[in-house]
Amino acid sequence: MSDFDMNTLCEPGLDVSAGMSFTGGRDRYLSALQRYYKSYDANREKVESALSSSDIENYTILVHALKSNSKMIGAADLGALFEELEMAGKAGDTDKIRALTQKALADYQELHEKLRPVGEMEQVQTDGEISGDVAKETAEALLAALDDFDDELSAKLAAKLSGYPFRITQKTKLKEATDYISDFMYDEAAALIREILPAIE
């Protein structure tokens, strides 16, 4: 995708430099934008369903993920709006949730439409990036290696797992798990891997 004009991404209001910094470079950033675009319908449906059923706990988890994903691609304003909804969810402030959710979803839809050109182009392949299925298999193998106290294999599998495009929170936890492996703290590393497993799609 060397011919893609990155300047076109500035018009949707994205901080391209921040997005590339968060994701690890140009191609990984474009790949993240494509995943962000393609997950829109499912994410919106989940948020609306949680809200309509007054499932505030699940709603809060969903907007937390949207906050992280939005900030990761450089959509700071939208990320801040989802963060406000996350805080409202944690506080049980249903009035604020109902007042702001439609605004957030409208802004989310607007960004989704602006990302259509990059979202619908050929999938960007990045060096070392692994799919969700491979990441799940790798994580399960890593847990088994940790259970066997195999530090060498665990380190190799953790490095492979880092090829999955995790959100910032999960990336941080994986880095912490890798550090634990280096210190032979297998139970602590396994606990962190179990925490990030649900984020693999």
| % of the chain at pLDDT higher than 90 | 59
Instruction: Choose the final residue of a domain: 86, 119, 152.
Output: 119
What number is the average pLDDT over the span 94-119?
A: 93
Boundary-marking domain end, from 63, 91, 119? 119
- Tokens describing residue 84: 């406000």
Give the phi and the psi of residue 149 in degrees, each rounded to 5: 60, 35
Cα separation, 196 vs 11, whole angstroms: 33
158 within 8 A of 142, measured Cβ to Cβ: yes
pLDDT tens-digit map of 148-166: 999 899 999 999 998 888 8
Inside any domain, residue 125: no
CATH number at residue 51: 1.20.120
CA distance 94 to 127: 44
Query: What is the per-residue pLDDT for 127?
Result: 67
Half-sphere exposure of 53 (CA within 13 A, CB side): 10
For residue 141, pLDDT over 90 is answered with yes
- At 81 the pLDDT is 96
Residue 65 lies in a domain: yes
| Residue matched to tokens 């799919």 | 131
**Average pLDDT of the residues in 86-115:** 95
> Which pLDDT value is given to residue 82?
96
Residues 44 and 143 in one domain: no
The answer on pLDDT for 142 being more than 50 is yes
Which residue range is the domain that position 112 belongs to?
Answer: 9-119
**Which tokens sit at 43?**
């994410």
Query: Looking at 119, 148, 176, which one is the last position of a domain?
Result: 119
Sign for the pseudo-dihedral over CA of 168, 173, 174, 178:
positive
Task: Identify the band that residue 65 occupies on the pLDDT scale cut at 50, 70 and 90.
Answer: confident
